Amino acid sequence: MVDISDTMLLASIGAGLAVGLPAIGSGIGVSLAGVGGAGVLAEKPKEFSTVIILQALPQTAVVFGFVIGLMIVLGMLSGKITELDQGAACVGAGVAMGISGLTAAWMGMVGAASAGAIARNPRTKSYGIILTAMPDLSVLLGFVVAIMILIANNVF
């Protein structure tokens, strides 16, 4: 027989993965983009707004992860998560969001390279921002799949 505490444990693991893994990716990405941006600002302080955009883009992963984690926790608090398969679905949603959220680290690498390009040629700003945002598609797809898993299993 499955105890409700087993279901809550699985849901808690899912929420933790949904937020924790993207937080790692975002932290790495923001720091990498910040390192590249700091070099640009030493030479061209007027590029501050562009550097902030490049550094902020990797944060989207942890924001999406937070939304999934919040959906799971709200499902727990509302009493909707009562079956083992719902707990397992929360783990699946957390894994989908969590692993896709790790790509934020690579967003930071692209952001750092883009910052260097902007230092050499300020006309490349829009290209750098677009290139830095491209890996976010993986994060967005993981986010959508996680939401679909939660909705399909009546978690939220």
Give tens-digit pLDDT for 81-111. 989 999 999 999 999 999 999 999 999 999 9
Distance CA 121, CA 153 (A): 50
Distance CA 40, CA 58 (A): 18
pLDDT band of 1, cuts 50, 70, 90: low
Does the structure show a pLDDT above 80 at 3? no
pLDDT band of 156, cuts 50, 70, 90: confident
DSSP code per residue over 15-46: HHHHHHHHHHHHHHHHHHHHHHHHHHHHH-GG
* Token digits of residue 149: 């898993």
* Token digits of residue 148: 């679909």
DSSP code per residue over 75-106: HHHHT---SHHHHHHHHHHHHHHHHHHTTHHH
Domains of the chain: 4-152 (1.20.120.610)
pTM over 0.85: yes
